[in-house]
Structure 1
Amino acid sequence: MKQYLFLFGCTLAGFVAQAQTDTVRASTLPPAQLAEKYYNSGVAKFNDKSYNAAIQDFDRALAAKPDFAKAYYNRAATRYELKQYAPAVQDYNEAIRLDPSTFTAWYGRAQARQAQNLPAEAEQDYSKVTELKPDYAAAWYDRGALRFEKGDYQAALQDFTQATKVDPKYAYAWHDRASAERQLGQPEAAVRDYTEALRLNPDLHVALLNRAAAKRRQKDYKGAQEDYSDYLRRRTDDPVGYLGRAGARYEAGEYQAAVDDLTQALKLKPDYALALNNRAAAYQQLKKYKEAEADATAAIGQNPQYAEAYLNRGHAREMLRNVPGACADWRKAAELGITAGTAYAANSGCE
């Protein structure tokens, strides 16, 4: 999921002391001034993306002034850019110990912990940011994203809602609130929020795909097809768009159009097992059972554990009078978790 990335560069620049003409040798400066000198140099090098050189300057600043919270914070930010997440967390720890009221250190540590795949710890830090600075939309959004990923959709919805209240122009928050609403079975609300996300950011193409999916839940197949088509005008090279539009066309009973879209998806991605299986289903509706069997077999070749493909191939083989093959496929589908396979086998006299 997209991240609302913390603008380290801007934050760093905000801490820079006023530039002054320095005609005094560095070695003669008092420790506090020497630390500030190296700190400012580190900030400049960070902004130039000279990260290793920036770390050296922050090291010198901390050697001169060991309780320099901003230097710990900015060295942590630099280490984050270098993907040195564990050392970054250690520096954020020091920055928080020295100045626990600064929300940026808590937010930075949350980002680093998330990069370490420590979602529970990251969530705790985002929560602290919401306490220290309730108007910081990114913290609400990022905590919502973590909660969404672990399946706590109601809590995620609350966080995304708060992010939109804090920043009504936050397109990603509107988008992800819509996704939480979809998961909670609220397609009408989801369509509204995806629409708002697109109004705020017309280039947020994924919102077209997701709004189309929400419209399908409402059985608005025409509206869904329009969204998929709009997406495909912008992204002609994405097989997912063709797959989605094929689904809307299939649900509307437009089986040949669905086959056409799935064929296009497979031209772009020949090993697309889902498209192969779905085209098998569309071919069956068109009573093209040999083609259906071939596509289901190809899907199984891509994924030998594809239960739905075994079920579909069983149907095609039944219509081709290959009863033993159909029975074997239905039993395999049941073995892989589709209980309907057992019923099909029993009803067809496979026993």
Structure 2
Amino acid sequence: MKQFLFLIGGLAAGFTAQAQTDTVRASTLPPAQLAEKYYNSGVAKFNNKSYQAALQDFDKALSVKKDFTPAYYNRAATRYELKQYAPAVQDYNEAIRLDPNSFTAWYGRAQAEQAQGQAAEAEKDYGKVTELKPDYAVAWYDRGALRFEKGDYQAALGDFTQAIKVDSKYAYAWHDRASTQRQLGNMAAAINDYTEALRHNPDLHVALLNRAAAKRRNKDLQGALADYNDYLRRRSDDPVGYLGRGTARYEAKDYKGAIEDLSHALKLKPDYALALNNRAAAYLKQENYKAAADDASAALKINPQYAEAYLNRGHAREMLRDAGGACQDWRRAAELGLESGTSYAAASGCE
């Protein structure tokens, strides 16, 4: 969470001058200054990540001064760190009631609502932040992320675009706008945005991986392979990278290379159903039907609803002269939504 903590100035000089000992008894202070004392102590403890102790100080500050807006805000921030999201929202409510124009309180409440799974409420509050402070890029970005998650890609695209207008170096906004463009089928625009994300943050490795996927979908297999190679030089422990490069090699008809990459992915993640299914497809191209059937079966043990694995196992079983098994697999693929399962079953004379 992006925290905003406010420190109130020290005690008035007159009271400091009266104190000749090392400490001042809190009970001798006027209420306003006593509240400030507890408040500043809470801020210091928050900054040291002593959240329970900070919470106690903010409680004391508010017990003395009921309308202490910053104390409500910072107690809410502390409760957020302690994962006390519902009480945090209540404190943000008070902070907003006392100061409706505090964009930080609206933003904090949105974060706490989002943490509780209240996406609609969080989206509304992020919108309020953009009204109060249009140049606050992170609010545009966070609302865009919520809209992306619910599949409202056009609205998400607008929010990410606005975040970039506010902060042209916002690498994550460039990245997520690129991913939104991919969802909308705009591959060239997605590739450009991933490139911008990497220009502003060369260490944003996920942008390289996703740009490779966008290039592959845009039929630029050589460009995709170059990006996958670069990504795997940086992240040699990521099975997703090997899956992606293996799929690109498959599409480039390099079946041997595809099997090598998919096998590496499976070494890193043995229960990777997608890699098993894709390797089964590569084995089919090499006419290694037994290995293809075994991989498809292994994928189905992990995911019994995997339609493509049924389809591939059907092809392997057909070539292994198991006509009944092939028909059964193609029918199951059709039941799971693959129309080609029906076509293969019909063409092979399955009853």
State the TM-score, normalizing by the size of structure 1.
0.96
Counterpart position of 2:38: 38
SS, match of residue 9 in structure 2:
coil
Deviation at 1:337, TM superposition (A): 1.7
Cα distance in 2, alignment partners of residues 223 and 70 from structure 1: 52
Asked if 1:142 is matched to 2:142, the reply is: yes
Please state how far the C-alpha of 1:235 moved relative to its aligned partner: 0.9
Work out the CA distance in 2 between the residues paired with 1:217 and 1:341: 24
Q: How far did 1:19 drift?
A: 6.7
For the 8 Å contact 2:182–2:214, the answer to whether it is kept is yes
Q: Provide, for residues 299-348 of structure 1, a one-character-per-residue CA deviation record: whole Å limited to 9, x for no partner.
A: 11111111110110001111111111100111111122212211211110
Aligned-residue offset at 1:55: 0.7
Alignment partner of 1:73 is 2:65: no
Q: How does 1:306-325 map to 2 (within 5 A)?
A: 306-325=306-325
User: Which residue does the alignment assign to 2:177?
Assistant: 177
Question: Partner residue of 1:164?
Answer: 164
Q: Contact conserved, 1:307 with 1:338, CA < 8 A, in 2?
A: yes
- The whole-number CA distance in structure 2 between the counterparts of 1:325 and 1:211 is 40
Distance 2:163 2:42 in 1: 33
Question: What is residue 222 of structure 1 aligned with on the other side?
Answer: 222
Name the structure 1 match of 2:8.
16
Partner of 1:99: 99
Residue 18 of structure 1, CA deviation: 4.3
Closer, same or farther in 2 for the Cα pair 1:19/1:229, shift >3 Å? farther
Aligned residue in 1 for 2:63: 63
* Cα distance per residue 1:10-34 (max 9 Å; x no partner): x21x433247774343212111111
User: Distance in 2 between the 1:15 and 1:131 partners?
Assistant: 26
1:213-272 residue CA offsets vs partner (Å, 9 max, x unmatched): 110121000110111111111111111000000111111111111111001111111111
Q: Which residue of 1 aligns with 2:197?
A: 197
Change (3 A) 1:278 1:20: farther
Contact persistence 2:106–2:129 (CA under 8 A): yes
Aligned-partner Cα distance in 1 for 2:251–2:8: 59
Aligned twin of 1:123: 123
Letter in 2 for 1:120: A
Kept in 2: contact 1:16–1:43 (CA 8 A): no
> What SS does the corresponding residue of 1:264 show, helix, strand or coil?
helix
Residue 329 of structure 1 is matched in structure 2 by: 329
Counterpart for residue 25 of structure 1: 25
1:33 is paired with a residue whose SS is helix
In the alignment, which residue of structure 1 is the partner of 2:301?
301
1:116, 1:20 → 2: CA distance?
Answer: 41
Name the SS for the 1:324 alignment partner. Answer: helix
Superposed CA offset, 1:126-181 (max 9, x none): 00000000000000000000000000111101100110111111110000010111
2: CA distance, partners of 1:243 / 1:18: 59
Q: In the alignment, is residue 265 of structure 1 matched against residue 257 of structure 2?
A: no
User: Contact 2:11–2:37 at 8 Å: present in 1 too?
Assistant: no
Aligned to 1:288: 288
**1:243 corresponds to which letter in structure 2?**
L
2:112: which partner in 1? 112
Unpaired stretches in structure 1, ≥5 consecutive residues: none
- Residue 278 of structure 1 is matched in structure 2 by 278
Amino acid at match of 1:151: G
CA contact (8 A) 1:276 1:299 kept: yes
Identify the residue that residue 85 of structure 1 maps to in structure 2.
85
Closer, same or farther: CA 291–26 of 1 in aligned 2, 3 Å: same
Contact (CA 8 Å) 2:245, 2:258: kept in 1 or not?
yes
Q: CA RMSD in A?
A: 1.1
Partners of 1:33 and 1:85 in 2: CA distance: 29
| Whole-Å separation in 2 of the counterparts to 1:342 and 1:188 | 35
| Greater mean deviation of Cα atoms: 199-208 or 71-80 | 199-208
1: CA distance, partners of 2:217 / 2:302? 29
Question: Runs of 5+ in structure 2 lacking a partner?
Answer: none
Determine if the alignment matches structure 1 residue 54 to structure 2 residue 64: no
Q: What is the DSSP-based 3-state SS (H/G/I as helix, E as strand, rest coil) of the residue aligned with 2:236?
A: coil
Aligned counterparts of 2:168 and 2:8: Cα–Cα separation in 1: 31
* Pairing 1:236–2:228 present: no
